[in-house]
Chains A and B, each alone.
Chain A
Amino acid sequence: MTDRAIIDRMDASLSGAAPLPRDNGELVFEEPWQGRALGIGVAVMDRFHIPSDEFRTHLVAAIRAHPQTPGESAATAYYGAWIEALERLLAQRRLLSRPNGETPPPS
């Protein structure tokens, strides 16, 4: 699957419950890390053939756990939750031994 096809699919899946931040239809990235967060998600979805609805479930839970705070932009809150959703997904599927993002010691 191409990156575009994956994003298309994720976009459609997320559009109701947790839509990607947009301005006038275009995706909004306020800082480069937010675009990278999207890219990490696409790479993980592609690598492990994750159904987009599975990711959506984690994203909705992450947004609920960490709603946007005063002084935080919508895109920062969203992509913060996005990263947390990826962490949750990787943990649930046991794809990482250290799902909290700590770098494990060299094996």
Chain B
Amino acid sequence: MTDEHDHGHGAGGAHHPHPASDAELRARALEALLVEKGLISTDAVDAVVEMYEHDVGPQNGAKVVARAWVDPEFRRRLLADGTAAIAELGFGGAEGSKMAVVENTPSVHNVIVCTLCSCYPWPVLGLPPTWYKSAAYRSRVVAEPRAVLAEFGLEIGPEVELRVWDSSAEVRYLVLPERPPGTENLTEEELTALVPRDAMIGTARALEPEAVR
């Protein structure tokens, strides 16, 4: 990427560090043609591009988690009505489906799956990882969750209850991981860096501060 890149005017506007490929030229020509014919707008294309630049992604979920860690009232609302609490942070609109947040504790570990297809808490986690949609994960995490989590490098002791949540078009789940020890002095923003996507699916824990230093 060069610092001359132009994200606002796709059809022919970008500067290139090397000659444009044939595919790129065809993409530009197609966009220009569709726009010229009034079939699509440049703004519509820009909106999708910007979504990937700034908007979609697990950082939204990490903000929700960090807020819940520092604000007990928010955490209470989040667990009572995930959709409404997440909307407070400006995230939402998952095609009318409800968001439910399930909390990990020392005695309960939650993990999410969609056994039927690939329902996923989009507005907070962005695009699902490939493995989330694999037939192997979808069937095995229900039948043998401890073994599947161990393959992710996550050992869950026998004393901990494992709950597997099957997402659907109606309800999508988000895991609220446990706040790692030694994070009392971190700010909400610093805490977001400790929340990887997989911790909100339930196939990992939140990171300890040493891990991100």
Interface residues of A (CB under 8 A from B): 1-5, 7-8, 11-12, 15, 19, 22, 24-27, 29, 31-40, 42-44, 46-47, 76-77, 79-80, 83-84, 86-87, 95-96, 98, 101-103
Contacts and interface: CB of A to CB of B under 8 A. Distances in A.
A37 to B, nearest CB: 5
Nearest to A78: B23
A47 B39 contact: yes
A44 B48 contact: no
A74 B202 CA distance: 30
B150 interface: no
Nearest to A33: B24
A45 to B, nearest CB: 10
Contacts of B127: 7, 11, 22, 25-27
24 contacts: A1-B95, A2-B95, A15-B133, A25-B130, A27-B52, A29-B52, A32-B5, A32-B7, A32-B14, A33-B23, A33-B27, A34-B27, A35-B48, A35-B49, A35-B52, A39-B46, A40-B31, A40-B40, A47-B44, A79-B23, A83-B23, A96-B34, A101-B30, A102-B29
B117 interface: yes
Contact of B27 (A4, A37, A98): A37
Query: Main SS of the interface on chain A?
Result: helix
Nearest to B53: A35
Report the interface size class on chain B. 35 or more
Contacts, number: 134
B39 A95 contact: yes
Contact of B26 (A19, A44, A80): A80
B41 interface: yes
Q: Which of A31, A38, A98 has the most CB of B within 10 A?
A: A31
B48 A7 contact: yes
B108 interface: no
A25 B131 CA distance: 8
A37 B24 CA distance: 9
Interface in B44-58: 44-49, 51-53, 56-57
Nearest to B18: A31
Given A4-B51, A8-B95, A12-B118, A40 B34 contact: yes
Contact of A101 (B29, B122, B197): B29
